[in-house]
């Protein structure tokens, strides 16, 4: 007898490209989102110092290298340290540690109680946003380092992070062997990098230099390299960031649409037309493909700026409708379905034909 299998829950492409979508929730804006992440580095490079500072900084709600944090409870499983060592390090990196940062030097392995321990902590501390596990190797059961085992172990933690809407950061090691791609040096099989949402590697310029490069890659973040230097208090300070643009496109779209609607109050047109209006010379990088996504993923931010947005299809084309809250509410609404398709750009007509 066949088991009772539930049906697949699907969404069609047209609906998906017309739905407002919320961007990922970040614990550290633009860097560390909710989900599972790994920070790998060579032994004694300063990974644990960075992990401790991150746990304290997020608990305080203070910026991390100029990036805003979501303040909340943090848990640092410092499994290679003693309570005395953590106390000594706390006195070095901060003048005051809040009660919302918690430390633990012992825990069960994956599949042998760890999940229940973390779930119990989150239940007791519902404001938890970040759990750091230092190191991954200590919490792994004893078994062969195969792709299947690596993926299974990390998938357990990935499901746990997603279930509770928290970020779990695993501290791990790099291989000694050099590689053209630094992420290929992460110890273990490629399943480790494949199972996490983001990977970070901390590599010193040279041993004992107190300068290192933090290389970042992930599903919800763009590739970037942060040049760091460890100061006299063992805090990693930002020296430079490969992400040169100070403002994200997510921020710029609100500004550009606010300027557009300052005078005309309303816009109805295709993504190509909107892109040409707000970024005519292409310097902002807001292409017709990007503009729809930016609008759908920033509906809340646009609403705060008193802009309402909707994306529909009309005569086979995608149409964007924007309205300023200051527009005339007494005016009759325009019917989207009667927009004249004449003189529309060929790109949008072709899009409708597909």
Residue 167 CA to its chain's centroid (Å)? 10
Q: What is the pLDDT of residue 237?
A: 97
Tell me the per-residue pLDDT of 299-311, one tens digit each, with 9 for 90 and over.
888 888 899 998 8
Work out the pLDDT band at 271, boundaries 50, 70, 90: very high
> Which of 6-15, 53-62, 144-153, 334-343 shows the lowest mean pLDDT across its residues?
334-343
Q: What's the token pair of residue 354?
A: 């597909």
Model-level pTM greater than 0.85? no
Largest separation between any pair of C-alpha atoms in the chain: 75
Among residues 334, 328, 353, the alpha carbon closest in space to that of 269 is found at 334
Tell me the per-residue pLDDT of 28-49, one tens digit each, with 9 for 90 and over.
999 999 999 999 998 889 999 9
CA atoms within 13 A on the CB side of 320: 27
The span from the first CA to the last CA of the chain, in angstroms, equals 43
Residues 39, 200: contact at Cβ < 8 Å? Answer: yes
- Is the pLDDT confidence value at 345 over 90? no
Q: What is the pLDDT of residue 249?
A: 53
* Cα distances (angstroms) measured from residue 295 to each of 156, 161, 250, 277: 34, 28, 9, 15
Residues 76, 132: contact at Cβ < 8 Å? Answer: yes
Instruction: Return d(Cα 22, Cα 41) in angstroms, integer.
Output: 32
Work out the pLDDT band at 250, boundaries 50, 70, 90: low
Tell me the per-residue pLDDT of 324-339, one tens digit each, with 9 for 90 and over.
876 444 444 343 333 3
Instruction: Return d(Cα 167, Cα 149) in angstroms, integer.
Output: 22
Q: What is the pLDDT of residue 122?
A: 98
Q: What is the DSSP letter of 71?
A: -
Residues 83, 105: contact at Cβ < 8 Å? Answer: yes
Instruction: Return d(Cα 47, Cα 190) in angstroms, integer.
Output: 21
Alpha helices in the chain (DSSP H): 13-16, 47-60, 83-93, 114-124, 136-139, 147-164, 190-195, 249-264, 271-278, 288-296, 299-304, 346-353
Centre a 10 Å sphere on the Cβ of residue 88 and count the other Cβ atoms it contains. Answer: 11
Centre a 10 Å sphere on the Cβ of residue 300 and count the other Cβ atoms it contains. Answer: 11
Question: For tokens 């609100």, what's the residue?
Answer: 254
Question: For tokens 């300070």, what's the residue?
Answer: 237
Centre a 10 Å sphere on the Cβ of residue 283 and count the other Cβ atoms it contains. Answer: 7
Under 8 Å CB-to-CB from 40, ≥6 apart: which residues?
Answer: 47, 171, 172, 173, 174, 185, 186, 187, 199, 200, 201, 202
DSSP secondary structure string for all residues of 147-203: HHHHHHHHHHHHHHHHHHT-EEEEEEEB-SS--SSGGGGBSS-HHHHHHSSEEEEEE
């Amino acid at each position: 007898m066949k088991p009772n299998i539930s049906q697949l829950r699907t969404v069609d492409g047209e609906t998906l490209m017309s739905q407002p979508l919320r961007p990922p929730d970040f614990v550290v804006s633009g860097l560390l989102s909710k989900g599972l992440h790994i920070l790998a580095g060579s032994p004694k490079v300063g990974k644990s110092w960075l992990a401790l500072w991150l746990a304290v900084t997020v608990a305080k709600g203070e910026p991390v290298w100029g990036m805003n944090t979501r303040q909340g409870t943090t848990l640092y499983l410092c499994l290679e340290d003693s309570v005395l060592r953590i106390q000594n390090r706390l006195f070095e990196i901060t003048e005051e540690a809040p009660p919302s940062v918690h430390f633990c030097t012992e825990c069960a392995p994956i599949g042998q109680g760890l999940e229940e321990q973390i779930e119990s902590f989150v239940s007791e501390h519902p404001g938890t946003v970040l759990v750091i596990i230092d190191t991954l190797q200590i919490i792994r059961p004893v078994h062969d380092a195969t792709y299947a085992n690596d993926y299974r172990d990390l998938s357990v933690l990935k499901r746990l992070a997603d279930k509770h809407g928290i970020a779990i950061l695993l501290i791990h090691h790099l291989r000694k062997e050099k590689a053209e791609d630094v992420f290929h040096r992460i110890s273990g099989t490629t399943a480790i990098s494949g199972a996490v949402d983001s990977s970070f590697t901390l590599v010193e310029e040279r041993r004992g230099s107190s300068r290192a490069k933090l290389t970042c890659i992930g599903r919800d973040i763009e590739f970037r390299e942060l040049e760091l230097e460890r100061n006299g208090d063992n805090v990693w300070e930002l020296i430079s960031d490969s992400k040169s643009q100070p403002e994200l496109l997510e921020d710029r779209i609100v500004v550009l649409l606010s300027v557009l609607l300052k005078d005309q109050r309303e816009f109805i047109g295709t993504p190509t037309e909107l892109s040409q209006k707000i970024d005519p010379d292409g310097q902002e990088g807001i292409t017709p493909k990007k503009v729809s996504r930016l609008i759908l993923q920033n509906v809340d931010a646009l609403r705060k700026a008193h802009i309402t947005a909707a994306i529909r299809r009309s005569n086979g084309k995608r149409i964007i409708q924007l309205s300023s809250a200051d527009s005339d509410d007494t005016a009759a609404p325009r019917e989207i379905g009667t927009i004249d398709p004449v003189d529309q750009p060929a790109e949008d007509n072709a899009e409708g034909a597909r």
